[in-house]
Amino acid sequence: MGRLRLRILDAPGEGREVVVEKNRVWLEDIGVQGNAEIVLDHGVWEIRSEEPIRLNGVEVSGGPLTPGARFHAGGSEVEVSGIEADDEPRKRCPFCDRPVKVQAVKCPSCRTFFDGDDGEAGPAGERDLRTEAHLLALGFWWRIISAIGVVSGLTLMILGLVGGGPGLAVPGGIAIAALFATVYAIAAGLSRFRNWARVTGRVFSMGLAMAELVLLMPRLAQSETEVGKVAEVARAIAYFALYASMGWVLKGARARRVCSFEYADLVAATAEVRASMTRSFFFWVFAAILGFVAFVVLAVLLLA
């Protein structure tokens, strides 16, 4: 990032030198009179203000600060006495493409943490097909499940309307259909790498994971055999691991990058490259679960 050295040219504080080390700071925060902020933008120091300031004798709203430049922002007149370069190794933020320190865990520009499923967000100019596959697989199976849920809710509502269902069939059916319709919208957004769908899907996944833990004790209390209790614990652990892993993937830096506006431009520029959802373990996990459920339902129908 480097340092920006400023020297006060008039009273009060005449001759005093101020060093700016942050990439965004207000003049009053560094003891300089004036209503403006100094920003380091893509390696260039700039001064910005909502009110007109004088920079090198010209009235402007902002501009670059170079050695020898002078500005007056409603307070003291200040001169840029020097700019010190920073030779520390840098990497690019995968979200805003600003240079940041290699050891940084948070981008000082866009305030995004560099935490992810493997600690890396991937090269800024390359497609992350593995993460794309995860999002596509989740979007595909969530749409299948939510479509079944919507149909089930509407069926329950219709049964309530014609008098063949329980008393709360109509409001219950509407609530179920609305819930799964929302999940369908999230799934469709994930398939299109929309960030709002990633955030919502993460909250939804972690909510399901916590629900498994909360509901485990009542289920154990209802189970009358040791085998049943072991089965309930095993089932809760398996589903908790699945939901938590979905939330972890959606939280990670790789998923955030794939769902960013910059990545959308990259996808549009490389439309011939397509990720396969079958590369995601989520695809096969959901396929196995739904396949097993379908087998059980079919067996019950045949034996009935």
CATH at residue 67: 2.60.200.20
Domain membership of residue 123 (yes or no) is no
Q: Are residues 17 and 166 in the same domain?
A: no
Q: Are residues 70 and 145 in the same domain?
A: no
Q: Are residues 145 and 255 in the same domain?
A: yes
pLDDT in tens, 149-189: 999 989 888 888 887 656 677 888 889 999 999 999 999 99
Q: Are residues 9 and 143 in the same domain?
A: no
Q: Are residues 282 and 133 in the same domain?
A: yes
- 12 preceded by cis ω (within 30°)? yes
Task: Report the distance separating Cα 70 and Cα 34, nearest Å.
Answer: 13
Q: Are residues 193 and 250 in the same domain?
A: yes
Q: Are residues 206 and 152 in the same domain?
A: yes
Residue bearing the bigger pLDDT, 59 or 85: 59
Q: Are residues 158 and 274 in the same domain?
A: yes
Query: What's CA 278's distance to the chain center, in Å?
Result: 23
Domain membership of residue 144 (yes or no) is yes
Q: Against a cut of 0.75, is the pTM above it?
A: no
User: Where among 84, 113, 142 does a domain terminate?
Assistant: 84
Say if residues 32 and 44 touch (Cβ distance below 8 Å).
no
Q: Are residues 150 and 25 in the same domain?
A: no
Task: Count how many domains the chain has.
Answer: 2
Task: Report the distance separating Cα 287 and Cα 163, nearest Å.
Answer: 36
Residue 118: is its pLDDT beyond 50?
no
Q: Are residues 71 and 12 in the same domain?
A: yes
Three-class DSSP category at 292: helix
Domain membership of residue 90 (yes or no) is no
Least confident range from 116-120, 205-209, 297-301: namely 116-120
Q: Are residues 158 and 225 in the same domain?
A: yes
Domain membership of residue 301 (yes or no) is no
Domain membership of residue 215 (yes or no) is yes
Domain that holds residue 72: 3-84
Q: Are residues 237 and 133 in the same domain?
A: yes
Domain membership of residue 119 (yes or no) is no
Task: Report the distance separating Cα 213 and Cα 135, nearest Å.
Answer: 25
Domain membership of residue 98 (yes or no) is no
Domain membership of residue 23 (yes or no) is yes
pLDDT in tens, 32-63: 777 788 888 767 788 888 778 888 888 888 88
